[in-house]
Amino acid sequence: MRAPGESDLKIYGLFGYPLAHTVSPAMQDAALDFYGMKAIYFAFEKSAEKFQYLMKHLKSLQLEGFNVTVPFKEIVIPYLDRLDSMARKIGAVNTVKKQGKKWIGFNTDYQGFLEGLKKARFHAKGKNAVILGAGGASRAVCFGLAHAGIRRLTILDVIEKKAVDIVRSYRKFYPAVEWKVQPMKDEFLEPALKEADLLVNATPIGLHENDPLIVSKAFFPKKRILVYDLIYKPRETPLLKLAKKLGHSVVNGETMLVMQGAKAFEIWTNKKAPVEVMRKAMENALHHK
Ligand code: NAP
């Protein structure tokens, strides 16, 4: 029996800063409503200071589970009781679930990324990938590709140290992968792309209308490759437009976005995520707000 005043409403949420453009509440509420659950998902936009203050009081937090996004995916870790094995290897958490009195951290970003590859019918095993950017999203991408059996992974970033850090944290888990780090310069990009089967843009270049093209037309290889841009708005970045025009396969970041949310929903509720419902809610929130 519930104590007087105690509610059976289940509360989920997202912590990050800033959160003005997040579509997670739309996606997760749609999934909760699909099952008629007495539950709601909030976006909690909090500074790092407030977030850490709250995490110190995690035990008394009346949430069933929550997502964390930029810039809290690493900050959250010391406050959790346990990480699942993948989140531990990645060193970043985007989904937290309460199990009994314990808080467990997971990472569904890399799964979301892999679902995008699956949608494009790309099999990573034995292939060569070139990744542009070495920030948070790139970490999930590199882990996902190594986990899926990629043969060679070349990471290019303006700040090489970030790419070196990614390699340093993953090489021990995936020693069979040929890890390469190069500066983001034409003289390195062109030869790397000549041998690539997959190009991933994990930089924000392409988000804004006047952004330059991140890869020159002349650098695209003759053979057909998959070009995967993690950006989901606009739906087609200049990079994807050009790649398509040149006859390459393309995939944008929408599937990654919806599937990281779907996997989180499944972790929290043990129910199959209504992916198409979540995708429609995401599209509405992204493009018809
Ligand atoms: P981030 O942490 O800022 O990382 C971006 C990285 O790219 C930084 O290391 C940045 O270097 C580097 N960079 C910037 N311009 C570059 C260039 N011209 N060449 C090579 N590297 C360059 O951002 P993030 O959180 O990883 O996000 C990256 C992109 O992925 C964003 O567009 C985001 O919208 C998208 N994303 C999509 C999903 C999804 O679900 N589809 C999820 C997460 C992120 P500096 O630090 O020096 O600028």
pLDDT digits (tens, 9 = 90+) for 3-57: 565 678 999 999 999 998 899 999 999 999 999 999 999 999 999 999 999 999 9
Q: Cα of 159 to ligand 1 centre, how many Å?
A: 12
Phi-psi region of 133 (alpha: psi -120 to 50; beta: other; left: phi over 0): left
Q: How far is the C-alpha of 258 from the C-alpha of 231, rounded, in Å?
A: 13
How high is the pLDDT of residue 37?
97
Q: State the helix-helix crossing angle for 254-269 and 275-287, rounded to 10 degrees.
A: 130
Percent of the chain whose pLDDT exceeds 90: 93
How high is the pLDDT of residue 5?
57
pLDDT at residue 287 greater than cutoff 90: no
pTM comes to: 0.95
Average pLDDT over residues 225-236: 96
Q: Cα of 7 to ligand 1 centre, how many Å?
A: 41
How high is the pLDDT of residue 288?
78
- CB of 26 within 8 A of CB of 285? yes
How high is the pLDDT of residue 209?
87
Q: Cα of 258 to ligand 1 centre, how many Å?
A: 18
204 Cα nearest atom in ligand 1: 32
pLDDT one-digit tens code per residue, 105-122: 999 999 999 999 999 999
pLDDT at residue 199 greater than cutoff 90: yes
132 Cα nearest atom in ligand 1: 20
Helix (H, G, I), strand (E, B), or coil: what is residue 262?
helix
pLDDT at residue 212 greater than cutoff 60: yes
pLDDT at residue 1 greater than cutoff 60: no
Task: Supply the residue whose CA is at minimum distance from atom 27 of ligand 1.
Answer: 137
Name every protein residue with a CB atom under 6 angstroms from any ligand 1 atom.
Answer: 70, 112, 132-138, 156-159, 162, 184, 202-205, 207, 214, 230-232, 253, 256-257, 260
Average pLDDT over residues 160-173: 95
232 Cα nearest atom in ligand 1: 41
Task: Supply the residue whose CA is at minimum distance from atom 44 of ligand 1.
Answer: 137
Q: What angle do CA 111, 259, 94 make, to 5 degrees?
A: 65
Q: Tell me which residue has tokens 């993953």.
A: 170
Best mutation site among 109, 139, 154, 158 for ligand 1 pocket (most ligand atoms within 8 Å of CB): 158
How high is the pLDDT of residue 6?
63
pLDDT at residue 279 greater than cutoff 60: yes
Q: How far is the C-alpha of 285 from the C-alpha of 283, rounded, in Å?
A: 5
Q: Cα of 179 to ligand 1 centre, how many Å?
A: 19
pLDDT at residue 81 greater than cutoff 70: yes
Confidence tier at 206 by pLDDT (50, 70, 90): very high
pLDDT one-digit tens code per residue, 122-150: 999 999 999 999 998 999 999 999 999 99
Task: Supply the residue whose CA is at minimum distance from atom 14 of ligand 1.
Answer: 203
Average pLDDT over residues 205-223: 94
